[in-house]
Amino acid sequence: MLALKGIYENGIVTLEKPLKTDKKMEVIVTFLEEENDRDKILSLKDFSFMETRQKTSKYNFSLSNAVLEERKEGL
C-alpha cells in the first residue's frame, strides 16, 4: 500500500508529489477533517437531560434496549 497526500478542490484531487506508474491502480480517498471541524465536536455540556426526556416522552420503549437489539441484529 502506498499513501500520498494531496488537495481536493473543485472536484479535482491534486497530489503533492507525482506518482509515475504505467498500471491501473485502485485508490481510496480519505477526506481529513479540518481543524475548524474539530471544534464542532459535541460534548456533554451540549445536551440537556430534561430536554431529551421531554422530546422522547411520547415514545413507549427503552432507547438503550432498542440500540442493543439493533447492534445484535448487525452481528
* Secondary structure in 3-state letters for the chain: CCCCCEEEECCEEEECCCCCCCCCCCCCCCCCCCHHHHCCCCCHHHCCHHHHHHHCCCCCCCHHHHHHHHHHHCC
Q: What's the number of domains the chain is made of?
A: 1
pLDDT at residue 36 in the model: 62
pLDDT at residue 65 in the model: 86
- Say if 66 falls within a structural domain: yes
Q: Report the predicted TM-score, pTM, of the whole model to 2 decimal places.
A: 0.39
pLDDT exceeds 60 at position 2:
yes
- Say if 1 falls within a structural domain: no
Hey, what amino acid is at 16?
Answer: E
Range of the domain at 36: 6-73
Could you tell me which residue, 43 or 21, shows the higher pLDDT?
21
Quickly state the pLDDT bin for 39 (edges 50, 70, 90): low
pLDDT at residue 42 in the model: 75
